[in-house]
Amino acid sequence: MKLLAASLLLAASALSPASGYFVVTSPSLNDQWVNGETHQVSWSKGAKDGVTSFDIEMSQLSATGLTLIAKNVPSSDGDQKSINILLQDVPPGNDYFLLFLNSTHGVMHGTSPRFTILPAGSNGNISSTTNPKAATVTVSGSPNPTQAFATTFPLVASDARRRASPLLGVGLGSLIWGWAAWTMF
């Protein structure tokens, strides 16, 4: 009986929703972005993970602070898993990362690989591709965490719900009471 109870609890935990994944597909490792040009940021994420929007921030390792790029970026649109970023007077450096997070709750969804920002007029190692259907955000200046987000998207209605495992509830309660009664006798 105890083995049955342990097996049922293990099965219930296996049937609970798995955590999702969040992969930044652009920028890629060692990409070189050029000031004055627009570059695409894109991602791939798990379905039905409850993440309907997130924030994008940019960090330069050799500088203190963050650049707040976009707040409430919608993530649930099927084709539109990207935004465009226009760089203007962002300090050149080879140690930039994009952070994809829920800044309200402090939950990190993903980070981009390390990339470089070059001065205007330079030749980067990638073409400046953009998604014409995606929003374009203009980012300028040095990191400044006290500055507001460059863009704030409207809030997205969430369809996230707490899902109970089919083995929990009345079935689990009966299992616990049955186990308790079995151990008493």
The pLDDT score that the predictor gives to residue 79 is: 58
115 inside domain: yes
The pLDDT of residue 156 is 61
Total count of domains within the chain: 1
Asked, for residue 118, whether it belongs to a domain, the answer is yes
The model scores a pTM over 0.95:
no
Residues 6+ apart with CB under 8 A from 151: 69, 70, 71, 135, 137
- Flag whether 164 is in a domain: no
Would residue 5 count as lying in a domain?
no
User: Any idea what the Cα angle at residue 179 is, between residues 178 and 180, rounded to 5°?
Assistant: 90
Closest by CA position to 138, among listed 68, 78, 73: 68
Domain-located, residue 78: yes
pLDDT, one tens digit per residue, over 127-142 is 667 888 888 999 998 8
For 89-113, write each residue's pLDDT tens digit: 999 999 999 999 987 788 888 899 9
What is the domain-level CATH number for residue 103?
Answer: 2.60.40
On whether residue 176 sits in a domain, the answer given is no
Task: Note the pLDDT of residue 29.
Answer: 92
* Residue 41 belongs to domain spanning: 29-154
What backbone phi and psi angles, to 5 degrees, belong to 177? Answer: -65, -40
In a domain, 89, yes or no: yes
In a domain, 167, yes or no: no
- What tokens appear for 177 in the block? 């009471």
Ranges of the chain with pLDDT below 50: 1-19, 159-185
pLDDT score at 21: 74
Structural contact between residues 124 and 40, judged by C-beta atoms closer than 8 angstroms: no
Q: Which pLDDT does position 49 carry in this prediction? A: 79
